[in-house]
Chain A
Amino acid sequence: MIAVIWEVTSRLSVLPDFMFPRLTQVLETLFNGLVNGQIVAAIGKSMSRLLIGFAIAIVLGVIMGYLIWRYKLVEDTLGFLVTALQSIPSIVWFPLAIIWFGLNDFAILFIVTIGATWTMTVSATSGFRNVPTLYQRVAKTFGSTGLHFIRTVIMPASVPQLLSGLRIAWAFSWRALMAGELLGSGGGLGQLLETGRSLGQMDLVISVMIIIAVIGTIMDNVVFMRLERSVQKKWGLA
């Protein structure tokens, strides 16, 4: 239905094709982009940045979350700072990142990482905090301490919270990535949008938007939903 309205209004509209392309034209560009590798390469570039930044953010977030949970002093200092930093949209870091790293991959990686880190920290902290005392006591009476205690009790017991943290962190870093690539350089989906704009190719821009929406939906609905469901099923929460 939407497709029909789009096609018809575009054909009837007074706007030139390059401003309001027809659906068929967009699909053609999308198909060509996928076949000749232009879009595929951009997806690969964007995803590799995202995965690296996201991975760093998870590790940092979990470590900081642990420290905040474990030590009162860290909670009072870093804990407060994290809440403040969390309210800064990560793209705001971009000017700083350019000065620090130059207009390159690192700058983009930096804002992707920073976009996800604070949310991950907050989720990890609350996840660790909500581990039932009962589980901790049980493990301690069996003689579990130190790393073993963290690995076998604290981490698995906070998995549900960590998962929802991952999901939000993913959304943040995905947005940060697009903004960063749009402003930055070195390929990627965001860069392709910028190319489309400067060449006046709105069909390309819309194609990329479709790709972005598809990837976002796949990650959210397929990957994270499945993970959450399988945990809920195993724990008997569903």
Chain B
Amino acid sequence: MYVTIDGIEKSFLNERKEQVQVLDHIDISMEKGSFVSIVGPSGCGKSTLLYMIAGLEKADKGSIRIAGNEVKKPGPDRVVVFQEAGLFPWLTVLENVKYGLLLKKMPKQEAEAKAIDMLKMVHLSNYIHSYPHQLSGGMKQRVSIARALVMEPDILLMDEPFSALDEQTRMVLHKELIDIWKKTKVTIFFVTHNIREAVLLSEKVIVFGTRPGKVKEVIPVPTSTDGVLPDSVTLHTEQRILAILEEEIEKVLKEEMGDDYSFKTNHLHRNDSGDMGSHI
């Protein structure tokens, strides 16, 4: 296995100085070039796990290995695309994309050429000399993806990268991401709370339970090599994941609103007319 996450545990101290366990014995393995998503309710520790793979946070127990090497600190082989683009406002788009390359001691000319190529790939070649504030949310996120991909990382870690964007932009970026993934064959670890997004994009969806966060189920998504799945197939998978998550959502709600709260199961389902025959 290319990425091996082995027995990861992590707890934080809350405001009342109590130990709160966020991750409980996480075991995940990923093949090289795969696209794996993690879905789960908020606060289940999925982003924390991503930061651990990135090397930005340390686990209390367990280890993460990539191609046999243990992750100890952040490195340019594992680049993160954050929820907010996080572009440096004092640099132009081109300089932002070049930032990591120059850090790798790449010659200036080569870095510039590569950055421009990558910006072409995300359809932003007209904006290379703009500053981030001149771009729309979707464009910023494209730059952020370009900035990550130009590093030619082994793993692309994406932490709810599209959740702050509007629906249309998100759809366009989904398609672009799939194209890029096919072109580059980069391994993608994708954290989201959007079940549909996870099913549409990835080959494997890992469903996380909460308090403490743990792997509830691993669901393979019927291959989407051509990028288009029949709606019935995605819907079926979506509903399966939703059914698993319902229990978790109820747990969270009970905790927040008191034990007498009962979450009415049927209301959350998408309209049933769309899944004709999916239960056969």
Contacts and interface: CB of A to CB of B under 8 A. Distances in A.
A195 interface: no
Interface stretch (B117-125, B128-136, B182-190): B128-136
Interface string B62-98: 0000000000001110111010101011100000000
B273 to A, nearest CB: 42
Chain A contact surface mostly:
helix
Contacts of B89: 234-236
A145 B187 CA distance: 25
Interface string A29-71: 0000000000000000000000000000000000000000000
A148 B88 contact: no
Contacts of B133: 235-237
A130 interface: no
Given A134-B84, A148-B103, A236-B131, A141 B56 contact: yes
A140 interface: yes
B76 A140 contact: no
B175 interface: no
A152 B100 CA distance: 11
A135 B144 CA distance: 12
B88 A141 contact: no
B86 A142 contact: no
Interface stretch (A5-13, A15-23, A153-161, A179-187): A153-161
A41 to B, nearest CB: 40
Given A143-B74, A143-B75, A138 B90 contact: no
Given A135-B88, A235-B89, A143 B104 contact: yes
Given A153-B88, A156-B88, A137 B132 contact: no
A37 B103 CA distance: 53
B74 A140 contact: yes
B56 A137 contact: yes
B54 interface: yes
Contacts of A126: none
Contact of A235 (B103, B104, B131): B131
A195 B42 CA distance: 73
Give the bracket for the number of chain B residues in contact with chain A.
20 to 34
A137 B79 CA distance: 10
B88 A143 contact: no
Interface string B186-208: 00000000000000000000000
B151 interface: yes
Contacts, number: 60
Contacts of A143: 74-76, 100, 103-104
Given A234-B131, A236-B134, A141 B84 contact: no
Given A138-B82, A141-B78, A236 B151 contact: no
B82 A142 contact: no
Nearest to B88: A135
B90 A141 contact: no
Contacts of B181: none
A237 B78 CA distance: 32
Contacts of B2: none
A137 to B, nearest CB: 6
A156 B89 CA distance: 9
B127 interface: no
Contacts of A235: 89-90, 131, 133
A153 B76 CA distance: 16
A157 B89 CA distance: 8
Nearest to A235: B89
A235 B133 CA distance: 6
Contacts of B84: 134
A137 B131 contact: no
A140 B56 contact: yes
A152 B134 CA distance: 21
A236 B132 contact: yes
Contacts of A141: 54-56, 74-76, 78-80
Contacts of B55: 141
9 contacts: A132-B86, A134-B86, A135-B88, A144-B103, A153-B88, A156-B90, A236-B89, A236-B131, A236-B133
Given A153-B88, A236-B132, 20 more contacts: A132-B86, A134-B82, A134-B84, A137-B56, A137-B82, A137-B86, A138-B82, A140-B56, A140-B74, A141-B56, A141-B75, A141-B76, A141-B78, A141-B80, A142-B99, A143-B76, A148-B103, A235-B133, A236-B131, A237-B133
Interface of B: 54-56, 74-76, 78-80, 82, 84, 86, 88-90, 99-100, 103-104, 131-134, 151
